Amino acid sequence: MEEKQAKPYDVIIIGGGPAGMTAGLYTSRARLKTLLIENGLFGGQMTTTELIENYPGFPQGVSGDELSRFMEEQAKRFGMETVSDEVTGVNLEQELKKVKTYEGEYTCRGLIICTGAEYRKLGVPGEEEYRGKGISYCATCDGAFFKDSRIIVVGGGDSALTEALFLTKFVSELTIIHRRDALRATKIYQERALSNPKIKFLWNSVVQEIKGDSVVRSAVVKNMKTGDVKEVETEGAFLFIGLVPRTHFLKELVQMDESGYVVTNENCETSVKGIFAAGDCRKKLLRQISTSVGDGATAAFAAEKYLEEG
């Protein structure tokens, strides 16, 4: 690690999801000295997805864990270096960009931010208290613990429905609680969820509190139209109500929107020359593995051109 800290890199990539690994593949193949810094598992949220059906090239689908492994192997094959650490800040005071982590500092000429996003918290009483005691944000990680249980899933988008469908393999009954009267998910997921006998729905409803003893026992739910409040018995609560970008460490270094997503142009260039953003942390219309891969390739190519011109 000391050796890596001592030498400047052509490109540093922050984040090892599909955007980061694709960027690393492209910069390494361009013979740019590349370091990827990842504070968790390579693949990011992709690793917790049981079956990915909409990534081209896998007609029968592919597990997130397997696809992550393929991408990692491919990127490292061309010489990309990696470090397991968390980035705490970026300093632009000197000619080289300085990336600070908990365990050291690294310098580079070009920087690609691929930090992705994490699941949004409900922010209700009981959520933190029962996290890991019945509250989960990952069906693949925790689904098997709820065999023959009655649980709730909060949300109505793609993540909520794909995770709910996976959970039906284990649970006896599942109630999806959604604040609207119609789902937002892709039609094929809606069709599967609406036709699954294990899945019920509470429409126009929000969770106001999670209750329990040593583990989750119930959720207090309010109907937004009628104002009625009731307590729903449950042995687990899976929360999928959207994403929050992991961009807190940037501290207004680059332009971001009101939600914290990095603003870029079509070439993945940020408001600061030599800094690029790709994947779910970037402000854009669609956040999917395929769009992250495209972002990663674009950001890497743009970084290569920036270094050639500099």
Positions marked catalytic: 138, 141-142
Going by DSSP bridges, is the β-strand pair 97-101/105-113 parallel, antiparallel, or unpaired?
A: antiparallel
| Pairwise CA distance, residues 90 & 100, whole Å | 6
| Pairwise CA distance, residues 163 & 140, whole Å | 8
Angle at which helix 18-29 crosses helix 64-77, to 10 degrees, equals: 20
The CA–CA distances, whole Å, from 228 to 23, 206, 217, 221, 224 equal 50, 11, 20, 8, 8
Which residues share a beta bridge with 14?
Answer: 37, 113
Closest CA to 282 of 298, 264, 269, 303: 264
Which residues share a beta bridge with 110?
Answer: 11
Residue with tokens 């029962």: 130
**Contact of 12 with 111, CB cutoff 8 Å:** yes
Burial class (CB in 10 A: 0-12, 13-18, 19+), 94: exposed
